[in-house]
A and B are shown apart, each in its own frame.
Chain A
């Protein structure tokens, strides 16, 4: 299982990546939306952790581009943001406002990302 962490802050990107790795997943990371789309095209992620405010291409725009890809329509996305948006993106599966609780974030990752053996527990419209 492969998680893509998209976050412009190096320290937070590394910390989140370490935590995901400690849960036994593979991690790739990107510091903005453009870099993240390049990663997506290299390797399809099974889950995305996405910051909203980023330079170059922000989280909102990345999400539109991401969902426009046929293979990414059903991929779960967890949003993390310092600013609570008036309406969280409807096509994200979870939202965490910074400073978030790492244990809760990892719980959400585990909930949304089925183990290799488990059947997919959700369906996308």
Chain B
């Protein structure tokens, strides 16, 4: 080298410039190799990593003249490279044949002979030798102390660059690990979740989201824009979903705060899905996508709807008896001011008040039953019960309320079992009052109780208005007929509760009707319990 040591060390700075920006060790070696002639003349040049744990030397790459060659691995041994690693000292070899064990190198150039001189420097990070930089020459005395100093300076810069690379590799590995962990978490989340990128394309969709959106495993949706027509091919009215959430997605991708969005699906049964979204910001704070959480709120929606219906119907129906009681009391007070008021008027007024309080009590019991059923807390109190005697007593009470109907009881076989006699009394009362109500012209009502081995079957048959087939399918639903009448009394809630009583006993209830105008039979079967 014709330059002064000072000049050469200054040039090392140029050699080192940009070393820390390289993507990997191979690129680092190439950069060093290309810049080396400016500061150090050598025939061959290599960069080797040392792994203390496995005591292995890993040549990253090596070069002979202008040609770069792949590296290889060898265990820590007795050669010069190994010696440099062991002693942690740089080494200047002026005359290899005399100073060190021979080394066999075979390069592409086919240059004869062995390297005759070398400079070798360990790269030390902390206490550890992490790598070795070596330059060889086929001529003896090719290097001096200055060359060693220059290589040491390069090695120091290279060590920093390798450390940086290792750190970023470590970070990349850590990042990859975090990504894997997050994907595992997303996959196992019970909460349906999907992620979209800045273009609105789906990048993640967990199993729960696939389930709630009815997208099978085989359907490829990743990478598809949320607004694309292809959503229409999904089974669950996905076109409705994408239409409904499109404004939300656009808002999210603009970085605007967005309100939750409910999507009502009427195809394949009623379902209500609620979408909540948050924008995802990248490192610079720009919107890089969004995460959407989907919840199936169908059940909650139905409960809210039922609560609303119950409250509105209850408030309406409770107000009527309260109004009558209050008005009658006020009317009695007005009348009492007149001394000549007939005793009969007072009696009638008080009877009306008592009657209306009974009605209120029944309404409240009905509401209480309804709320118990909805809360899953409808219970029965079983005791030995004779169904024939329950029926006789109910028939006697109900028969007293009508002079147009004749109620007959038929029993056969054993009719006793372990049941809630109060609830069965209510059930029969309900069926009989319905039979009377829906046979306004009067007629025969037959109550048939048949005992079998393990169960008892009951049928209440009237000759009344009967049911159309489509009505028969719905009579046991709560608030059936409510669309027209919106009343607790006579709203079909009675039959809904009847069904709950039978179900609580482990039985089943159904209705048979030949058609409109041909009467109907309400039948139920109870296991003996």
Q: Tell me the A residues contacting B by CB distance below 8 Å.
A: 9, 11-12, 14-16, 18-19, 22, 53, 55, 82-83, 98-103
B335-A99 in contact (CB<8A): no
B404 at the interface (CB under 8 A from A): no
B324-A9 in contact (CB<8A): yes
User: Please, how many angstroms separate the alpha-carbon atoms of A18 and B323 in the complex?
Assistant: 14
Residues of B within 8 A of A103 (CB): 330, 334
**Of B312, B335, B356, which is within 8 A of A11 by CB?**
B356
B486 at the interface (CB under 8 A from A): yes
Give the Cβ gap from A32 to chain B, nearest Cβ, in Å: 12
**Binary CB contact string for chain B from 470 to 496 against chain A (1 if under 8 A, 0 otherwise):** 000000000000001110000000000
A98-B323 in contact (CB<8A): yes
Segment at the interface with A among B100-108, B118-126, B313-321: B313-321
B316-A83 in contact (CB<8A): yes
B335-A15 in contact (CB<8A): no
A55-B484 in contact (CB<8A): yes
User: Please, how many angstroms separate the alpha-carbon atoms of A99 and B331 in the complex?
Assistant: 14
**Of B312, B327, B355, B485, which is within 8 A of A12 by CB?**
B327
Total A-B Cβ pairs within 8 A: 61
Q: Which 8 A-B pairs give the minimum distances between C-beta atoms?
A: A102-B330, A99-B323, A82-B319, A98-B323, A98-B319, A99-B322, A82-B316, A102-B327
User: Please, how many angstroms separate the alpha-carbon atoms of A18 and B321 in the complex?
Assistant: 16
B327-A19 in contact (CB<8A): yes
**Of B316, B327, B486, which is within 8 A of A16 by CB?**
B327
B316-A53 in contact (CB<8A): yes
Given pairs A11-B321, A11-B356, A82-B323, 7 additional interface contacts (CB within 8 A): A9-B324, A15-B327, A16-B327, A53-B316, A98-B319, A98-B320, A100-B327
**Of B320, B326, B486, which is within 8 A of A102 by CB?**
B326
Residues of B within 8 A of A102 (CB): 326-327, 330-331, 334
Question: Which of B310-356 touch A at CB < 8 Å?
Answer: 312, 315-317, 319-324, 326-328, 330-331, 334-335, 352, 355-356
Give the Cβ gap from A122 to chain B, nearest Cβ, in Å: 26
Q: Tell me the B residues contacting A by CB distance below 8 Å.
A: 312, 315-317, 319-324, 326-328, 330-331, 334-335, 352, 355-356, 484-486
A101-B330 in contact (CB<8A): yes
**A97 and chain B: residue at smallest CB distance:** B319
A100-B323 in contact (CB<8A): yes
A11-B355 in contact (CB<8A): yes
A99-B355 in contact (CB<8A): no
User: Please, how many angstroms separate the alpha-carbon atoms of A12 and B331 in the complex?
Assistant: 12
Given A11-B352, A102-B326, is A22 in contact with B331 using a C-beta cutoff of 8 Å? yes
A18-B331 in contact (CB<8A): yes
User: Please, how many angstroms separate the alpha-carbon atoms of A56 and B458 in the complex?
Assistant: 35
User: Please, how many angstroms separate the alpha-carbon atoms of A33 and B319 in the complex?
Assistant: 21
B324-A53 in contact (CB<8A): no
User: Please, how many angstroms separate the alpha-carbon atoms of A19 and B345 in the complex?
Assistant: 12
User: Please, how many angstroms separate the alpha-carbon atoms of A79 and B33 in the complex?
Assistant: 100
Residues of A within 8 A of B316 (CB): 53, 82-83
A82-B324 in contact (CB<8A): no
**A100 and chain B: residue at smallest CB distance:** B323
User: Please, how many angstroms separate the alpha-carbon atoms of A18 and B329 in the complex?
Assistant: 12
Residues of A within 8 A of B355 (CB): 11
A12-B330 in contact (CB<8A): no
User: Please, how many angstroms separate the alpha-carbon atoms of A100 and B320 in the complex?
Assistant: 10
User: Please, how many angstroms separate the alpha-carbon atoms of A15 and B355 in the complex?
Assistant: 13
Residues of B within 8 A of A101 (CB): 326, 330
Enumerate 5 A-B pairs (CB-CB under 8 Å) in ascending A order: A11-B320, A15-B328, A55-B485, A83-B316, A102-B327
Residues of B within 8 A of A11 (CB): 320-321, 324, 352, 355-356
**Of B312, B323, B335, B485, which is within 8 A of A22 by CB?**
B335
Residues of A within 8 A of B315 (CB): 82-83
